[in-house]
Structure 1
């Protein structure tokens, strides 16, 4: 008798039971047991429990005979019950708990499918490990997700607070959190008109925390603006007023800014497109339509600025299409929706526009590269990859692949490769115009250089003015015009590297990768996102990075007396590594001395770097400003090294990226290493 009861108990937790529970509408006596097929699997009140018990008893009695002939081990368990009756939750800090956590981390990191994870769990279970048989138990997959109809598509709202409470690190003691929001549209499939519109956000004070999805719309057209933002606006206003309680501590919530690409900015603000006559979201410039190029040009850069008051009052009627729901938030509708996004404005905007003009001749033949020039530049780009530091992850491709370049490739070309490669292929006036852009972007991309921000503003205005004379004033598109509004955004929110949309663009790619089939893609993403959230709270942030050495050379002893051991690699900071190869062996000291690393060693039990200083260096260019102000130097390539010596880690200013130019080497600082406190 007890054996039969135990089998019935196991059956009640199988997917066969819940499938019958959802499919059954009438019992054998014709009574209506359940009207809604979406049965609540975990009843929360007495009435639901009574109905649940009645349905449970009926299904077990009617269908148990059919089930008992099946192999229970092959059945998946119900995810939301969490298998509590037959598998105890492991205690925290136990070996089993660690195994659960590591398996979960592995599955989420590699985006392992549920079927593959089920097979692995069965193998481990057969070896005697205390693990669930179903991946949904391990990953805390929700039984259902709340997806509602919206317009011509579907809408899933996850919530800001839900994300924060699930993903805040255990050791977080923040009293204030500034949220950065992003809205963008992405096509999940290449062969279908479907598109996703996620609302994403990240926490400014926790840069290691990846962006999270507040809501996602799925449909063949853009979501209706008002209904798309209604729940978001309501919840955000509540959080701005009351904050959240985390670990019995009040945490204040603030809105930092919204960062989007140009079409998405117009959409969320309810304004006309960027190519309209009154399309600029920052000033009242009037566009001039170029019939030949069939686009709008904005040659003026000194027009009156828009204000939050004039925007909310819709003073410029030609600028507005509808009232933006964001006006219900206590934000500045002009300043807090930024255009100073390095990804869309500089990398995929201005730099791509210039390269397309030089390669494909979009402007005039005076500035177009010849076929021979394109081949020579492509060979130079291949050669540059041999000197690319590890911190620049993506290798840059040739100009023959220009249409397929990613934003990071344009960024590498703009900030590091362009000044060297373009010098022999552009005329003096065109090259000088490029250097204006290069110097301005370099200054605005690094906190160390922000002391020159007024110079950067002057350089940008000169670039726009000269751009019109070189390429034609009809070539001053929306992106070129928006450069004059960048400095104000940097002054308020920080350098370009801190306010770019790169993190959100990576998140959009991750969202697409969560789809495993074409059936109900939004539900798939919602469940995968919930699985990730259940894991994020277990992550620990690395606040204090300790420098360490790696790759000990046991076959060699150090040449200096008092030094012990020889290492080929040293990690200065989380994103700062030096190694004795040509890609990673150069750094700049705080005395502006260029040093080539030979090895790392211990001297008096403290890590030191043993390296050769370069004796002579000079400016690579002197206009528009001296390159040495930006820590850019040119050195002779032969017989220019001094006597090797030891350097402390505290002596280091930044890591250097060098390129060969004729008979010399040109050194560029890796900008993010300048801002690292060593």
Structure 2
């Protein structure tokens, strides 16, 4: 109907309520008497949203099964178990406030496309005080994994694929030490060293296992018992290293900053920085629309997004650095670029072992080129990231990119600082 079409248009394009009210008045004056006079009536906005308090924050639970039935409405239910991926992360809603939204997001493939939806919303100052905001989600998840759910007369089985978080959020939900702690790596038992910052000096350390985590064989790694232990999930292998945060925003960003602002041994000149920037800008007309962003100069690197670092790593970097970056630094960068190019490609499974060797070389050679302080947590995690690609098929199968895109959509639902939780729930 016209009312439903208007409502969809209003939500998709973030039209203001005042503008929508004005449009409705115009339409009513031109014969559409069946339309309401205000968008509040059109949306049938509830008078109140059931907001409770959990973990010291405002909390609304939307439900896994409820959300799954919404996205499966009108879709043929799958024959195989539905694989669910989860994400927990903080999102600042306002630049002038420390108040954050901490949603619990879920994603599942529907007819070949990954569908992301919120399961729970938590909003308050900084971050949750404890993990109580996860208990509803995990309780329902355990029930769904055990019994499945029924839709259209068919019972759909549920399985957990993975939980994708950046390093701080992962430490929060697993109740472990941060990556800056002495026993902070969530994949191996290495104790860190201090070289002006926390570094991981060793290339071969005993790996953690799902069993050793549950038994807390290394108590120095743990803060307590995670609520995820109550669910049938592997606490090491199903919490993958996130390629978006640790490769793109982590290692690639670190390399660029070392080249343009690092120690004199590896820093390039202002003229070389300008030459690389000129090459990047010259590629703008050649970048197809499938890429999220066009190249920007290195002077804007502090404002680059993860997709821009990914583009530089996989596509433009090997072109624009050649002949300008010192040869040994360029060859070192190429080993990283080739390895990640292999790991993001699901058709390159037979080359994953080669990529693992390249990344081991990248870490060890990086210590020689940039010094021992190069091996921070993000760089160290490159020793383990091949295991994630081998388990899930490629790094894009367990990355935070789709979740981050959805977080941006959530943020657009907030128009003012007055009761943002109610705004998000109503507009969802």
Per the alignment, do residues 469 and 205 of structure 1 end up closer, same or farther by CA in structure 2, a change over 3 Å counting?
A: farther
Aligned equivalent of 1:232 = 137
Aligned equivalent of 1:629 = none
Answer whether contact 2:356 2:383 (CA < 8 A) is retained: yes
Matches within 5 A, 1:136-175: 136-175=40-79
Answer whether contact 1:225 1:325 (CA < 8 A) is retained: no
Matches within 5 A, 1:612-623: none
Distance (Å, rounded) in 2 between the aligned partners of 1:324 and 1:380? 49
Distance (Å, rounded) in 2 between the aligned partners of 1:390 and 1:199? 31
Distance (Å, rounded) in 1 between the aligned partners of 2:72 and 2:245? 29
Distance (Å, rounded) in 2 between the aligned partners of 1:250 and 1:133? 43
User: Alignment partner for residue 165 of structure 2, among 260, 283, 297?
Assistant: 260
List alignment gaps of at least 5 residues for structure 1.
1-96, 530-678
Matches within 5 A, 1:95-110: 97=1, 99-110=2-13
Query: Following TM superposition, by how much is the alpha carbon of 1:321 offset from its aligned partner in structure 2, in angstroms?
Result: 0.7
Distance (Å, rounded) in 2 between the aligned partners of 1:275 and 1:454? 29
Aligned equivalent of 1:119 = 22
Q: Deviations over 1:567-619 (max 9, x none)?
A: xxxxxxxxxxxxxxxxxxxxxxxxxxxxxxxxxxxxxxxxxxxxxxxxxxxxx
Aligned equivalent of 1:327 = 229
Query: Following TM superposition, by how much is the alpha carbon of 1:210 offset from its aligned partner in structure 2, in angstroms?
Result: 3.8
2:80 is the counterpart of 1:178: no
1:411 aligned counterpart, secondary structure? helix
Distance (Å, rounded) in 2 between the aligned partners of 1:342 and 1:172? 32
User: Alignment partner for residue 350 of structure 1, among 251, 272, 276?
Assistant: 251
Distance (Å, rounded) in 2 between the aligned partners of 1:197 and 1:322? 21
List alignment gaps of at least 5 residues for structure 2.
none
Query: Following TM superposition, by how much is the alpha carbon of 1:137 offset from its aligned partner in structure 2, in angstroms?
Result: 4.3
2:292 aligned counterpart, secondary structure? coil
2:404 is the counterpart of 1:505: yes
Distance (Å, rounded) in 1 between the aligned partners of 2:203 and 2:124? 38
Deviates more, 1:187-196 or 1:257-266: 187-196
Deviates more, 1:402-411 or 1:423-432: 423-432
TM-score, normalised relative to structure 1: 0.61
Query: Following TM superposition, by how much is the alpha carbon of 1:220 offset from its aligned partner in structure 2, in angstroms?
Result: 1.1
2:305 is the counterpart of 1:400: no
Query: Following TM superposition, by how much is the alpha carbon of 1:151 offset from its aligned partner in structure 2, in angstroms?
Result: 4.0
1:424 aligned counterpart, secondary structure? coil
Q: Deviations over 1:480-539 (max 9, x none)?
A: 11011111111111212232211111111121221111111112112112xxxxxxxxxx
2:277 is the counterpart of 1:374: no
Query: Following TM superposition, by how much is the alpha carbon of 1:342 offset from its aligned partner in structure 2, in angstroms?
Result: 2.2
2:91 aligned counterpart, secondary structure? coil
Distance (Å, rounded) in 2 between the aligned partners of 1:523 and 1:502? 26
Q: Deviations over 1:439-484 (max 9, x none)?
A: 1011111122222111111111111111111111221010011011
Query: Following TM superposition, by how much is the alpha carbon of 1:305 offset from its aligned partner in structure 2, in angstroms?
Result: 0.9
Distance (Å, rounded) in 1 between the aligned partners of 2:351 and 2:214? 34
User: Alignment partner for residue 248 of structure 1, among 138, 153, 173?
Assistant: 153
User: Alignment partner for residue 360 of structure 1, among 251, 261, 269?
Assistant: 261
TM-score, normalised relative to structure 2: 0.96
Distance (Å, rounded) in 2 between the aligned partners of 1:211 and 1:275? 31
Q: Deviations over 1:55-86 (max 9, x none)?
A: xxxxxxxxxxxxxxxxxxxxxxxxxxxxxxxx
User: Alignment partner for residue 430 of structure 1, among 318, 324, 329?
Assistant: 329
| Pairwise CA RMSD | 1.5
Query: Following TM superposition, by how much is the alpha carbon of 1:172 offset from its aligned partner in structure 2, in angstroms?
Result: 2.6
Aligned equivalent of 1:202 = 107
2:208 is the counterpart of 1:310: no
1:180 aligned counterpart, secondary structure? strand
Distance (Å, rounded) in 1 between the aligned partners of 2:238 and 2:172? 15
Aligned equivalent of 2:240 = 338
Distance (Å, rounded) in 1 between the aligned partners of 2:111 and 2:387? 24
Answer whether contact 1:444 1:495 (CA < 8 A) is retained: yes
Query: Following TM superposition, by how much is the alpha carbon of 1:206 offset from its aligned partner in structure 2, in angstroms?
Result: 4.7
Answer whether contact 1:178 1:205 (CA < 8 A) is retained: no
Aligned equivalent of 1:476 = 375
Distance (Å, rounded) in 2 between the aligned partners of 1:419 and 1:519? 48
Distance (Å, rounded) in 1 between the aligned partners of 2:140 and 2:54? 18
Distance (Å, rounded) in 2 between the aligned partners of 1:139 and 1:210? 24
Answer whether contact 1:285 1:301 (CA < 8 A) is retained: no
2:21 aligned counterpart, secondary structure? helix
Distance (Å, rounded) in 1 between the aligned partners of 2:130 and 2:209? 22
1:515 aligned counterpart, secondary structure? coil
User: Alignment partner for residue 494 of structure 1, among 357, 374, 393?
Assistant: 393
Matches within 5 A, 1:447-458: 447-458=346-357
Q: Deviations over 1:140-179 (max 9, x none)?
A: 5334321112243211111111211122251232132111
User: Alignment partner for residue 515 of structure 1, among 385, 409, 414?
Assistant: 414
Q: Deviations over 1:367-389 (max 9, x none)?
A: 11101111111111110112111
Q: Deviations over 1:400-421 (max 9, x none)?
A: 1111111111111111111111
User: Alignment partner for residue 526 of structure 1, among 417, 425, 428?
Assistant: 425
Distance (Å, rounded) in 1 between the aligned partners of 2:329 and 2:255? 10
Answer whether contact 1:187 1:195 (CA < 8 A) is retained: yes
Distance (Å, rounded) in 2 between the aligned partners of 1:204 and 1:331? 19
Aligned equivalent of 1:279 = 184
Aligned equivalent of 1:87 = none
Answer whether contact 1:306 1:334 (CA < 8 A) is retained: yes
Distance (Å, rounded) in 1 between the aligned partners of 2:52 and 2:229? 25
Answer whether contact 2:109 2:115 (CA < 8 A) is retained: no
Distance (Å, rounded) in 1 between the aligned partners of 2:107 and 2:41? 28
Distance (Å, rounded) in 2 between the aligned partners of 1:248 and 1:137? 35
Distance (Å, rounded) in 2 between the aligned partners of 1:466 and 1:192? 42
Answer whether contact 1:367 1:426 (CA < 8 A) is retained: no
Query: Following TM superposition, by how much is the alpha carbon of 1:209 offset from its aligned partner in structure 2, in angstroms?
Result: 4.9
Query: Following TM superposition, by how much is the alpha carbon of 1:352 offset from its aligned partner in structure 2, in angstroms?
Result: 0.2
Query: Following TM superposition, by how much is the alpha carbon of 1:287 offset from its aligned partner in structure 2, in angstroms?
Result: 0.4
Distance (Å, rounded) in 2 between the aligned partners of 1:335 and 1:220? 31
